A and B are shown apart, each in its own frame.
Chain A
């Protein structure tokens, strides 16, 4: 009668002994577009949902293709008005990449202007073949400015928590300062707190 008890105890102690330190090991690559809400923070799925809504909305907007020309857009200020640290550059890059690939919009590179200006100076300095040297005066002028805001609201009572995000983006005509396109994406996530942290 004691043998099965000893055997089970031995097996349990062996498995505990083999456990080792609690490091994150043996990972696997997963599809980044699979929904996985591991915690209650802003995550890549939220970013993907916002980007998908905005991209489809911009592409389908009739104002941008009215005169048959592919408009040039400059990325403006992307404001994070939530209480979390959210990388808004990641979101704006995702929008920019998808819109350029769609062929519906052109983007001017506003973030690298200083590097471009320095490169103009170098190429005009005489070191570069004059037939190939680039210089100022030929950059594309932006037609529109793309800006966005991300806000949040949290409701928490007892074991229940609701996290709400609202992302609002707009395209502003640089000549007239008219907002020619705007759209918003609302996300609400519901969470429950575990009873005991086991």
Chain B
């Protein structure tokens, strides 16, 4: 899974260098129909793929030690406007053998070349051993705009995992590549 994600990230980075085709006024008559927008900045209504690699830090109430684990994941999102998007994702924490399936929204503010964002997602936390639990994960992060299609991001999320008796806290810090298409 890790190797697939790494290969996908590399493939997205390479293909992201190519710029989208734009309209021109020196074409045939009426060839300008359907063309427009502003090709020199970000666009609206775009899907994106976000690969992430990082670490998760666990703190279970009643225990003094903090466990850490390697984290990798992939998100598929839709940016309906420069400031608003929704995304669904899968994250895997190796140390706890924990899979996280999440769905949430993302609010962003662009101040080029940075995009600052906050997010809120709901997720199902499915460990290999134990029962599946529901949780909420607010987060924040910053992306660096590499070009119109590629962004490099650093994110932080705090997970509140609700079980029958206690709530487990988890912090996730991860870096990732976001590719728009």
Report yes or no: B173 in contact with A33, Cβ–Cβ below 8 A: no
In the assembly, what is the distance between CA of A56 and CA of B28, in Å?
Answer: 11
B75 touches A (CB below 8 Å): no
Report yes or no: B38 in contact with A8, Cβ–Cβ below 8 A: no
Query: Chain B 102-114, CB within 8 Å of chain A: the 1/0 string?
Result: 0000001111001
- Say which size band chain A's interface belongs to: 20 to 34
Contact of B25 among A5, A38, A52, A194 (CB under 8 A): A52
Q: How many interface contacts (CB-CB < 8 Å) are there between A and B?
A: 76
B72 touches A (CB below 8 Å): no
In the assembly, what is the distance between CA of A69 and CA of B114, in Å?
Answer: 62
Report yes or no: A1 in contact with B171, Cβ–Cβ below 8 A: yes
> Across the two chains, which residue of chain B brings its CB closest to A28?
B40
A47 to chain B, nearest CB (A): 9
Interface centre among A5, A16, A198 (most CB of B within 10 A): A198
Report yes or no: A34 in contact with B142, Cβ–Cβ below 8 A: no
Report yes or no: A8 in contact with B140, Cβ–Cβ below 8 A: yes
In the assembly, what is the distance between CA of A1 and CA of B156, in Å?
Answer: 12
Question: What residues of chain A lie closer than 8 Å to B39, measured between beta carbons?
Answer: 34-36
From B2-10, B29-37, B88-96, B122-130, the one touching the partner chain is B29-37
> Across the two chains, which residue of chain B brings its CB closest to A31?
B24
Given contacts A12-B142, A198-B83, contact A36 B40 (CB under 8 A): yes
Question: What residues of chain A lie closer than 8 Å to B116, measured between beta carbons?
Answer: 12, 15-16
Tell me the count of chain B residues lying within 8 A, CB to CB, of chain A: 34
Of residues 2 to 19 in A, which have CB atoms within 8 Å of B's CB atoms?
4-5, 7-8, 11-12, 15-16, 19
In the assembly, what is the distance between CA of A27 and CA of B101, in Å?
Answer: 42
In the assembly, what is the distance between CA of A79 and CA of B109, in Å?
Answer: 43
Question: What residues of chain B lie closer than 8 Å to A52, measured between beta carbons?
Answer: 25-26, 29
Report yes or no: A1 in contact with B66, Cβ–Cβ below 8 A: yes
B148 touches A (CB below 8 Å): no
Chain B positions near chain A (C-beta within 8 angstroms): 22-26, 29, 32, 35-40, 57, 59, 66, 81-84, 108-111, 114, 116, 140-142, 154, 156, 169, 171, 173
Sampled A-B contacts (26; CB under 8 Å): A1-B57, A1-B59, A1-B66, A8-B140, A8-B173, A11-B154, A12-B140, A15-B114, A19-B114, A31-B24, A33-B25, A34-B39, A35-B24, A35-B37, A36-B37, A36-B39, A36-B40, A37-B37, A45-B32, A49-B25, A53-B29, A189-B36, A194-B81, A195-B84, A198-B82, A198-B108
- A sample of 7 more A-B contacts (CB under 8 A), given A1-B171, A5-B171, A8-B154, is A1-B59, A8-B156, A12-B116, A34-B22, A34-B24, A48-B26, A198-B82
